[in-house]
Structure 1
Amino acid sequence: MDEMNSDLPTAVAAVMTSPQRLGVLRSVVPDMAVPDADFRELAEIAADLFSAPIALVTLVDMRHQWFKAAAGTTETQALSTESFCVHAIAAPSNEVFVVGDASTDPRFAGLPQVTSAPLLRFYAGAPLLIDDQPVGTICVFDIKPRRNLPQQLLVQLQRLSRAAAALFKLKHEARQRALKEAALSREEQRHAMALDAANVGSWLWDIRSGSVSCNPAMLRMFGMPPAGVAQARDIFNTIHPEDRIATLSKLRSAMTRDEEYDGTFRVASTGRWLLGRGRVHERDANGKPTLFLGINIDVTNEQISAQRTRLLLRELNHRVKNTLAMLQSLARQTLRQTSDPREFMTAFAGRLQSISEAHGLLSDHEWGEIHLSALLAKQLAPHVRDYARQIEIHKDEILLGPDQAVGLGLVLHELATNAAKYGSLGVPNGKIVLTARGVDEDGHRVLHMTWTEVGGPPVREPARRGFGSILIERSLDKVMGSSVKIEFLPAGLTAIVRLPL
């Protein structure tokens, strides 16, 4: 037993230390040590009923008696071992506990408040029952003994105790509701902040009134002022005219069939793409939708990406068809030039690799434009031992489209292959001098490129033109206005390329 309660009778101490009683007390009134003005009128009513100088509304834990409200005293607490109320809450019948004259009652005669000021004599206390546990009392004191109290007074004191217990319970429930509401408010605020941070628009459409409650992200998406509430017709009017009918049709279908709405549309003022999702949140007694809840997400980047992917696939499909046709032509022409399978495979594989290198560069740039310098390095590096020494380049910054890159790649491959076999790249001190300039001709950009072999063996024009020469001159046929001219000068082969960009 707790040493603070060692002076109390066993039965009283058992009630005082009951875990069930203390659990209810601490749960329902966590601030038991703090006076509460809401109970003062109950204490004053009790004092008036008994014409008593002192009245209290108390709570009792294991060690202390706390005065939640008091009339006739400024004290706020007392030790439980010096308390009348501990006996009141331990009474088995939960009836009003009465002490007529404390000075003659051995349980109280030695208490300080009985032997000295204020010299208490009379006590009447009714237990406060919360969840069937006696947690305190409403009580009155007098400095004069009293005998033969009217039963009606005791009944009234019990009624006050029930009122005090109910008030404690109501305040507890209100406190719990406030905590739940605060937690819910924090959760709602957190969700709202998360939606806004993620740029997710949320909305609740009151179908009967036509009003739509929106978060700031939703209004920003539709280019509307940050009012918090908008009219549905105003929001619908912001949708791009080409998408409006389909969007409204999907909304009506979702409401009629009780399905989820899922649609993508553009905002007319910005051209941004929005994904909308939602469903009916509430219906009336007749089953008609009254509230529609949903979200919107900006999917402009995804739409652009999807459109780019579709364009790339179409471009790739077009390029594959062209490439296959080119490969068929290359295979036929190469085969005509040689009956040796090994020589055919060597020549054809080199040309195939040239096309592959150009395609690889274009693929890395999503079939857009590539730099001439990148194409030169890809096509010429396999044919030289020292690129920096054997390839001398003087050029402007030139960008090539897909047709220009594939065609010019083949031209460079054939020139480099020929130079490695018969020309300047086949001797130790030979090199290639390349000049490439972009010039304006009648408002159009044109590449003028000159290939000059330097330091190679003497050159003579061949008696018969081979497939390599034909391929060099015809590789750019797909580019209107292009041309390649080969000159077999004694000092070295020269090729002049004109290529509209």
Structure 2
Amino acid sequence: MTKKNNVSQAAVAAVLTSAERLDVLHSVVPDMADPDADFRDLAEMAADLFDAPVALVTLVDARDQWFKAAVGTDETHAPATASFCMHTIAEPSDGALVVADTVADPRFAGQPRVVGAPFLRFYAGVPLVIDEQPVGTICVFDIKPRPEIAPQLVAQLQRLSRLASSLFKLKHEAHQRALKEAALSREEQRHAMALDAANIGSWLWDVRSGSVSCNQPMLRMFGMKPVAIVQARDIFSAIHHDDRAATLSKLRSAMTQDEEYDGIFRVASTGRWLLGRGRVHERDAQGKPTLFLGINIDVTEEQGATQRTRLLLRELNHRVKNTLAMLQSLARQTLRRTSDPQEFMTAFAGRLQAISEAHGLLSDHEWGEIRLSALLAKQLAPHVRDYKKQIEVHKDEILLGPDQAVGLGLVLHELATNAAKYGSLTVPGGRVVLTARGVDEDGQRILHLTWTEVGGPPVDEPTRRGFGSILIERSLDKVMGSSVKVEYLPAGLTAIVRLPL
């Protein structure tokens, strides 16, 4: 399959130099020349999808095409006017450009990379659209022509382009929020009373000049005179001698590894204990840190409360990373199991909502424990017409931690989705009976939960295990000792969950 591009060269040039398009590109991705590892997985997925040796996530300005992520090449950019992708971005916003044989296409037959190494013969690309403007592409190349391409491959490449566009937008919004936070930290005068009342010291370190701008609580903590700007060496010298080496080592490691700095130390002159947190806020073109943003909290008299805050922050960071990894895995697996765009979006959106509901409950309880009854209601209510009549619950009072709540939430979502599509919830008289008991086994509290469907159509065990079945079995993998067993009984599906609490 070859999709012909009838856009004239003049029209391509007009899109390439469009002021509106370039404004969006430069505002959303100002660092377009820097490769970004966050897009590497998308490029690898595109290469795997087409079994292609080369795949790129690119941004195209008026003069150059920049490779934010590349598979199969070490190049980082190429001239825009000699690229395949300049034709792709001139397509309609949801279009695609497929060149089955570059030698047979007069637009590309004379290009250096076609007539010379690496002798490219096939191309498929989809534009990346941000704020209705095509700013780049996700594309694949092969050194062999491909006379026929399945339409669903192009459709999946379009889905990857939408994911890449969303990721660019999210990263831009996150960067803008960080800039606003830095600006707020510089406006010390406006926030001095609030920070003083909370006894939080804030500071912004200009690494190149060595100067540190900070608020008054910060100076008081270090026993320094009230001045607007101090030198970093004076602050480091104020740390107790026994704690200084370890503190500076942690700080250097965080800056080098691009990790969050987190440490507790004493001030030599006052003997008070301070909790310090921070991370590199800006880096130069070579990746060297230029601005470091941080806070200090006096924990001498408030160690208990501050420790709880620190653990909560760590838990949130851990949960966010786990959730991103889980979403990426869910997206890949769901995409791998279906070629229908609508089916993919429906299945993935439902699983995303299940995670969101569990996270919402945990957030309301500051990532502590939540009640099983609340999780049941959140996950099952969307799938029934009358919750009280169709969902029968017999349970002990069970409290779930974060890992248990997120994993069990996905299990309940998949079971409820299956029941609403094929099981007892497809008929008005059908019900789900849930029994949840907490028992002590060898000194450990265990949840035994049974899901039983009654009053539905006869059940046959499926001949092929879908991703939903796999997800049910593996959603609790993070909880050691857990298990889920599903039985397809003629009277209705039954699931038995064992979950350490």
- Shared fold (TM-score, shorter chain, > 0.5): no
TM-score (norm 1): 0.41
Greater radius of gyration (CA)? 1
Calculate the TM-score normalised by the size of structure 2: 0.41
